[in-house]
Chain A
Amino acid sequence: MSLKGKGAVTGIGETDYMRASPKDAFELQIEASLKAIADAGLSPRDIDGIIPIGITGAPAEAFVTNFGIPDLRFSAITPLGGASGIAALQAAVAAISAGICNHVLIPSGRNVSSGARAGVRIHQMPQFHLVTEFEYPLGAISPAQLYAPMARRHMELYGTTSRQFAEVAIAMREHAILHGNAVMKKPITVEDHQNSRMITDPFRLLDCSLESDGGAALVVSAAERARDMRQPVVEILGVAEGHPDSPSSITQRPDITRLGIAKAAPKAFGMAGVTPEDIQVAEIYDCFTYIVICQLEDMGFCKKGEGGAFVEGGRLRLGGALPTNTHGGLLSQAHMLGMNHIVELVRQLRGQGGRTQVADARLGLATGYGDLGDGALTIMARA
């Protein structure tokens, strides 16, 4: 049984994104969730499945208690870091298609001042104990330092340049400014990127995503049922997760320029019955500029090694051939573990994209990337 077209995102909700929110992570999750449920035209009591996202995700019980949910039929956790949201879509559609439940809430929200900084959390997670034991004491402290060798090798093998990384950062910033609900609002140039502080070579400050506060949530329902609900129907045509070789150590990975999404992409595109050429809008997980380039290759938008050239010439900007991260992404909107990417994709396909709306967007994708290379990909379409 294929999950193609079985599920739809029927509700989306986001808080304002900012630094130093006065609200704690749970309040942000509740606020985004209530917005998503209202957006779907449902009552909080209609939710009968919950998949909380991220290590600061409140447990399902907290939602049951606060929402007065009478009969929670399904709960799960998808531990793929920034790919968790799309992996949760897969789990939600599977559960709904199997008749287990009807409306799955996928809530997320974080307040980095309360200790959820992406930069330190790997060392708190048991699946990465070998990195903590063998690499942390060397001074390999941050994900930036674990991912930078992937980018460096790509540059050495294929001639990818820091100025090509800048193309990604500039496109995200342009979109964030237009979008409005974004942390970063000052335009940047290639020179700004090149002059920004080196963090860990080859990543400069403007190659790195934000630490920000906010919440984002989704409601997933059966596509059949979505037709009678409040919003234009956005169907999940394809969805898959992929785990890289050597998932708990990048150092030991045979090919460090290949991410988990390379395994997910053929499954998701195959399920949807479309190819990269068909995609009109893309929301690509962008914890670092290079990770966007690598995913474009791993999904088949171009060949391995050609991603740097692919993003040149404004291809990712509005008006380009592949408008990408029309919300500004993790680089310029907010770091919502990729949940903001899914919200934005749905908004685009509904035609509710506002000033960053891609004209006539009917088919698009969102990706997730997490931890040490987990990947996930969903392809959605307006019905």
Chain B
Amino acid sequence: MAAKPEPHETELSRPYWDAARKGVLLIQKCANCGKLRHYPQLVCDRCHSLGVEWVEASGKGEVHSWTVAHHVFHPGFAGEVPYALVTVDLAEGVRALGRLEGMEAGALRLGFPVEAGFHVEENGTPVLRFRPAGTRRNDR
């Protein structure tokens, strides 16, 4: 099986990945005005402060949209098609993209309640996954 692409962490995003490997979903919070933001950015787009804190997200969210890949776009995913990518409105007000698990994509609808978890791949990459709310299992 071909290798899957791995995230190229930066200084800016390292806290996210360090936490993800432990199964924790972190998002940035402006140290000045408190606005939450994701994906990681250098500057707060509301108050333009460079100060940043990281807070743990609840992992709860609702489905905003999705797509189901049938084509093998990358050989590393050849054994996984079809697979669904879900765009989720996290309760904190930011979005995340993750892989759907624990249900058929055909049952998805806008607003479907889900919860986040991480699955650490063999190559060490933590992959964000969303399951139907209330069915979370710990697979760190």
- On A, residues with C-beta under 8 Å from B are 119, 129-130, 132-142, 144-145, 148-150, 152-153, 156-157, 197-203, 249, 251-252, 256
Cα–Cα, bound, A144→B66 (Å): 12
Contact of A156 among B39, B71, B73, B110 (CB under 8 A): B110
What are 26 A-B contacts defined by CB distance under 8 Å?
A130-B39, A130-B40, A136-B5, A137-B6, A138-B98, A138-B99, A139-B73, A139-B74, A141-B5, A145-B67, A145-B73, A148-B67, A149-B67, A149-B85, A152-B65, A152-B67, A157-B110, A198-B82, A200-B70, A200-B71, A201-B70, A202-B67, A249-B39, A252-B38, A256-B64, A256-B65
Which residues in window 48-100 of B have CB below 8 A to A? Answer: 64-71, 73-74, 77, 80, 82-83, 85, 87, 94-99
Cα–Cα, bound, A269→B26 (Å): 44
Q: When A and B form their complex, what is the total count of cross-chain residue pairs whose Cβ atoms lie within 8 Å? A: 108
B9 on the interface (CB 8 Å rule)?
A: yes
B10 on the interface (CB 8 Å rule)?
A: yes
B28 shortest CB reach to chain A, Å:
12
Cα–Cα, bound, A155→B109 (Å): 11
B96 shortest CB reach to chain A, Å:
7
Q: Convert B4-36 into 0s and 1s, putting 1 for each residue whose CB lies closer than 8 angstroms to a CB of A.
A: 111111100100000000000000000000000
Cα–Cα, bound, A18→B105 (Å): 37
Decide: B39 and A252 in contact? CB cutoff 8 A.
yes
Q: Which 3 A-B pairs have the closest CB atoms?
A: A148-B67, A141-B73, A149-B65
Cα–Cα, bound, A197→B70 (Å): 9
**Size of interface on B: residues with Cβ below 8 Å to A:** 39
B40 shortest CB reach to chain A, Å:
8
Task: Chain B residues near A140: list those with CB within 8 A.
Answer: 85, 97
Decide: B85 and A138 in contact? CB cutoff 8 A.
yes
> Counting chain B CB atoms within 10 Å of each CB, which of A134, A142, A152 scores highest?
A134
Task: Chain B residues near A133: list those with CB within 8 A.
Answer: 7-10, 13, 39
> Counting chain B CB atoms within 10 Å of each CB, which of A137, A139, A200 scores highest?
A139
B67 shortest CB reach to chain A, Å:
4
Given known pairs A145-B69, A152-B67, the reply for A137 and B4 (CB within 8 Å) is: yes
Given known pairs A130-B39, A138-B127, A249-B39, the reply for A119 and B73 (CB within 8 Å) is: yes
Decide: A199 and B128 in contact? CB cutoff 8 A.
no
Contact of A152 among B7, B66, B71 (CB under 8 A): B66
Task: Chain B residues near A201: list those with CB within 8 A.
Answer: 67-70, 82, 105
Cα–Cα, bound, A327→B33 (Å): 52
Contact of B125 among A137, A144, A197, A252 (CB under 8 A): A137
Q: Which chain A residue has the least Cβ–Cβ distance from B96? A: A251
Decide: A138 and B97 in contact? CB cutoff 8 A.
yes
Decide: B65 and A134 in contact? CB cutoff 8 A.
no
Decide: A200 and B68 in contact? CB cutoff 8 A.
yes
Task: Chain A residues near B66: list those with CB within 8 A.
Answer: 149, 152
Q: Which chain B residue has the least Cβ–Cβ distance from A203? A: B67
Decide: B110 and A153 in contact? CB cutoff 8 A.
yes
Cα–Cα, bound, A90→B120 (Å): 48
Cα–Cα, bound, A203→B82 (Å): 13
Task: Chain A residues near B74: list those with CB within 8 A.
Answer: 139, 141
